Structure 1
């Protein structure tokens, strides 16, 4: 965690934040282009993150999405939260349509396998995720959908 993490948590908790997601993504994309992929908004906020690359389920074109992640045991936890918005993020369907993915974590690219966690395991890992990003609880309150949680591990 970094100096700006408490501020990021406060901003991420704002109820109108999901409406700004397109602007956040636009800003983050420009920042990553400027730094040749070395810095993301999540880095600036002092939060652990990875870039997930999976082929589009229809196009087959590789799609990369920066995600807040929670390093856990020998892998990473990610959630399809979309700030608690009503729709599941597109990367979730793309991930579900493939067996492996590529991530970039701390500048190192690697192939990963994944599994969606459910039931009691999801409840336990959700608590682990809340320790890194307490706003996941707010996102859960904002939506009627179950936020999917994935555990990524090196292939």
Structure 2
């Protein structure tokens, strides 16, 4: 089974809590990202709830390239996301990419959330990680 599918299945089976194969707890959402061909890809993404929205970052594990889902979110005005709860709930969310100070402030929150995000900066070759607000 592929890694992302394992996370998706665990998320759905446990009310949005994922502790295996990685420890996310309830800090994860499943984003239904539209692809150019009209299909959808489900991306399990670390998320920070703030100001009645979920925030996700295109870190790609510190890769110098954006993950493919970033381009799908940039094209979308609205997406479905699955959020933790009993049961997991699918809701529609408006997509907004953060910029400037707002983006920088949220990036600091991601680094405080997990030291892994700060480590990603070292291998990203200067790439600025895009951050999206998904407002329900």
Length-normalised TM-score, structure 2: 0.83
- What's 1:54 paired with? 33
User: Secondary structure, in 3 states, of the residue corresponding to 2:122?
Assistant: helix
Unaligned 5+ residue runs, structure 2? none
Q: SS state of the match for residue 69, structure 1? A: strand
State the shift of 1:32 in Å.
Answer: 3.9
Preserved CA contact (<8 Å) 2:33 2:79: yes
TM-aligned CA distance change 1:140 to 1:38, over 3 Å: same
Aligned length: 127
Mapped pair 1:63 → 2:36: no
Name stretches of at least 5 consecutive residues in structure 1 with no aligned partner: 1-24
- Deviation (angstroms), 1:37: 3.0
Q: Point out 4+ residue stretches in structure 1 off by more than 2 angstroms.
A: 30-33, 35-40
Larger Rg: 1
- Alignment RMSD (CA, Å): 2.1
The normalised TM-score by structure 1 is: 0.74
Q: 1:60 to 1:138 in 2, by over 3 A?
A: same
